[in-house]
Amino acid sequence: PSQKRVHELYSTEVPEPYKVQYTAFVQNYLSVEKKVHRILSKERPNKNREFFRVSVPKAILTIQENAQINYEEIFYK
């Protein structure tokens, strides 16, 4: 995972730094992101933010079921 991206995501708007639990290189990442966001849309506490209240395993499974994955690493235990 890109530590630069993790740092970019950590701002004064989030209470703690991000912890990367999963990373995947997928085909058509923009369409995968859009599809996963649509599937998980009911799990958003704030419709204007890209945060979801789902378990890590559910988030990973949603990505796996909706993407052509070239490579993945799971850090979640």
pLDDT tens track for 33-45? 999 999 999 999 9
Mean pLDDT over all residues of the chain?
A: 88
From 60, 58, 40, select the one nearest 50 (Cα to Cα).
40
pTM of structure:
0.82
Q: Write the single-letter amino acid at 62.
A: T
Please answer whether residues 31 and 51 qualify as being in contact, where contact means their C-beta atoms are separated by less than 8 angstroms: no
Q: What is the predicted pLDDT for the residue at 12? A: 56
CA 15 to chain centre: 17
Q: What is the predicted pLDDT for the residue at 57? A: 96
DSSP run (H or E) holding 59: helix 56-65
Q: Cα separation of 61 and 38, whole Å? A: 15
Residue 50 pLDDT level (bands cut at 50, 70, 90)? confident
